């Protein structure tokens, strides 16, 4: 079975109606992983015995008349930055390769399983999710199902590639600087980074990147992402940042769609160099909105300067906290070389005042967005500035290698904004191109509604050729 040929909602409905079983879906996922995963390296651990047992238990509950949840029988992969009971959480790092088997699930995984999902394995990620390219010394590189000569993006690249290749219909992801949106964009998925606090980051351990990162489900289409979000959003007492339960179902909120009267469009945010093909695809997508009667208001620049330095300060301070104790040991030398360099450059030297200055930059960026959203309700930008290179290489903009091909995503982690991506087209080299939609804080539904509207206009039946 190729899970790209149907939707999560349809699969769960078939299981609930007993037209198929959770075991059959799990067997199909395991067979597809065995056949295709060696080509893309999306999954780094699979437990077929546990998954089949969990699926059989769900089928028994369904036969007994129990409510098995809105995601009944859906096989999923879990990004290897978070815990899934029975699996190691290696965080893509050699130094955690022998970490203890997780005894409990993360809050996100726990809620997905409660909604009926079956965990089949863990998906690849760069070391501690530090970059937009899913490759690491422990498991190697995850390849893009659309073009195996290119990276699947990151840091949720294993999850994005698994969905894009039809290995499973859904995975978990996390986004601290674009790590859901970047791989979703380059793998042809619709993706969503919820507002900070929508999906709890609590549990026994503090979140690695503080106020930057948020978790969420990943699927091929935004209505399936929304269905899963309905099952996992809501407060948790162990997360200081968690938000109250939404007043209404997000799935019901996107049933009837209406184009917004106006939106903002920023082709560079004021600082990014953008590939010509990316810009052309995004501008073509805007014409679909204009056909609905939406006014496109160009609002470039959005920011006075690229906020990457304060973002790096906050992110690498978190990774210094996690790994700094290994410095001057043999284990330090086992870390990703580029990761070590980033930690040394941005995670070691900041003083307390420097860290507060980085948080000040988040405040300033958000104030700018508040001003902007008084003019337009939503902001559109390219999701990425160019195309991923080969795994381990920089991306490219107009054919020139650049590490900042991901320059459009991290500002909206700093501002805690809901932000998503939808496929706007396919490039000449066979790579998808994403259009990003950003909303005000907590306006997740507005972002989801526009993503769904754009997806209805732009989505094609073309699949990754794998």
The catalytic position among 106, 179, 195, 253 is 179
Q: Decide if 465 contacts 146 (C-beta within 8 A).
A: yes
> What's the rounded Cα separation, in Å, for the pair 98 and 47?
17
Q: Is 410 helix (H, G, I), strand (E, B) or coil?
A: coil
Q: What does 23-53 look like in DSSP terms, one character per residue? A: HHHHHHHHHHHHHHHHHH--EEEE-HHHHHH
The catalytic position among 21, 106, 151, 155 is 155
> DSSP letter at 337?
H
To the query of whether residue 179 is one of the catalytic residues in this protein, the response is yes
Report the 10 Å Cβ neighbour count for 329: 10
Strands ordered across the beta sheet of 379-382? 191-193, 419-426, 432-438, 379-382, 262-265, 295-298
> DSSP letter at 20?
S
Query: SS3 string of 244-304?
Result: CCCCCCHHHHCCCCCCCCEEEECCCCCCCCCCHHHHHHHHHHHHHHHHCCCEEEECCCCCC
The catalytic position among 79, 113, 122, 215 is 79
Left (φ > 0), alpha (ψ -120 to 50) or beta: where does 300 sit? beta
Q: Is 141 helix (H, G, I), strand (E, B) or coil?
A: strand
> What's the rounded Cα separation, in Å, for the pair 389 and 171?
24
Q: Decide if 46 contacts 33 (C-beta within 8 A).
A: yes
Q: How far apart are the first and last CA of the chain?
A: 13
b/e string for 136-159 if b means 16 or more Cβ within 10 A?
bbbbebbbbbbbbebbbbbbbbbb
To the query of whether residue 79 is one of the catalytic residues in this protein, the response is yes
Catalytically active residues are: 79, 155, 179
């Amino acid at each position: 079975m190729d899970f790209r040929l149907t939707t999560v909602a349809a699969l769960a409905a078939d299981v609930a109606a007993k037209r198929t079983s959770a075991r059959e879906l799990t067997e199909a996922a395991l067979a597809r992983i065995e056949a295709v995963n060696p080509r893309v390296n999306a999954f780094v651990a699979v437990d077929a015995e546990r998954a089949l047992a969990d699926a059989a238990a769900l089928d028994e509950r369904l036969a007994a008349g129990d409510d098995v949840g809105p995601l009944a029988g859906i096989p999923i992969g879990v990004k290897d930055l978070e815990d899934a009971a029975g699996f190691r959480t290696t965080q893509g790092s050699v130094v955690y390769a022998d970490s203890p088997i997780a005894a409990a699930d993360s809050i996100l995984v726990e809620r997905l399983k409660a909604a009926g999902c079956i965990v089949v394995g863990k998906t690849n990620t760069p070391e501690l999710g530090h970059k937009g390219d899913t490759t690491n010394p422990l498991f190697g590189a995850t390849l893009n199902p659309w073009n195996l000569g290119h990276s699947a993006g990151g840091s949720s690249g294993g999850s994005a590639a698994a969905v894009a290749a039809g290995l499973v219909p859904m995975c978990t992801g996390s986004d601290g600087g674009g790590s859901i949106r970047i791989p979703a964009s380059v793998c042809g998925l619709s993706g969503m980074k919820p507002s900070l606090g929508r999906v709890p980051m609590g549990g026994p351990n503090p979140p690695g990147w503080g106020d930057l990162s948020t978790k969420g489900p990943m699927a091929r289409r935004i209505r399936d992402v929304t269905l899963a979000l309905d099952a996992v959003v809501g407060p948790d007492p162990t997360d200081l940042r968690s938000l109250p339960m939404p007043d209404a179902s997000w799935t019901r909120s996107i049933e009837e769609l209406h184009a917004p009267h106006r939106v903002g469009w920023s082709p560079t945010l004021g600082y990014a160099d953008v590939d010509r093909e990316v810009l052309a695809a995004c501008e073509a997508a805007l014409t679909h909105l204009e056909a609905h009667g939406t006014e496109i208001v160009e609002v470039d620049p959005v920011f006075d300067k690229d906020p990457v330095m304060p973002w790096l300060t906050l992110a690498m301070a978190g990774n210094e906290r996690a790994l700094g104790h290994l410095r001057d040991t043999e284990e330090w030398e086992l870390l990703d070389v580029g990761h070590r360099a980033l930690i040394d450059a941005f995670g070691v030297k900041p003083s307390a005042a420097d860290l507060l200055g980085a948080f000040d930059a988040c405040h300033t960026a958000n104030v700018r967005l508040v001003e902007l959203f008084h003019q337009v309700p939503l902001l559109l930008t390219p999701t990425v500035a160019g195309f991923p290179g080969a795994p381990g290489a920089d991306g490219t903009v107009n054919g020139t290698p650049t590490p900042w091909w991901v320059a459009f995503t991290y500002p909206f982690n700093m501002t805690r904004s809901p932000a998503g991506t939808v496929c706007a087209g396919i490039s000449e080299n066979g790579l998808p191109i994403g259009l990003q939609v950003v909303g005000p804080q907590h306006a997740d539904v507005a972002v989801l509604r526009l993503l769904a509207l754009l997806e209805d206009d732009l989505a094609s039946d073309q699949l990754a050729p794998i």
